[in-house]
Amino acid sequence: MVTVTAKGLCLEVTGHAGWAPRGSDLVCAGVSVLTATLAAAVTALWEQGRLNTQPEIAMGKGKAKILCREETPEALQAFQTVLSGYRLLARQYPQNVVLINE
């Protein structure tokens, strides 16, 4: 199961969905794309000078952490948009994805 934990502008993702074998798991692929999208969005904000503090991004197999220390409207929008995608996956695949939004 994938667990997505969001607290403010910190997102942690752990686990594997287990919907299909690794390498062909569409649920894991969806989670991965959403996670990579958020990482790219906050990195772009940093590179464009819209954030004063570089976001912390650590991504690996079965785990990821994205931390944005500045609560700008653009950063909030990026997090909220990606959280909407996680919410959809958690509703569609409740046995494979859980979203904890604190």
| 2-100 CATH choice from 2.130.10.10, 3.40.50.300, 3.30.70.1490, 2.60.320.10 | 3.30.70.1490
Q: How far apart are CA 10 and CA 29, in angstroms?
A: 21
Q: Pairing state of beta strands 2-7 and 10-14? A: antiparallel
Q: Tell me the pLDDT tens digit for each residue of 25-81.
A: 999 999 999 999 999 999 999 999 999 999 999 999 889 999 999 999 999 999 999
| CA–CA gap between residue 100 and residue 61 (Å, rounded) | 20
Instruction: State residue 17's pLDDT score.
Output: 92
Q: Distance between CA 17 and CA 26 in Å, rounded? A: 9
Q: Is the pLDDT of residue 22 over 90?
A: no
Where in the chain are the domains? 2-100
Confidence of residue 8 (pLDDT cuts 50, 70, 90): very high
Token look-up 């954030």 returns 51
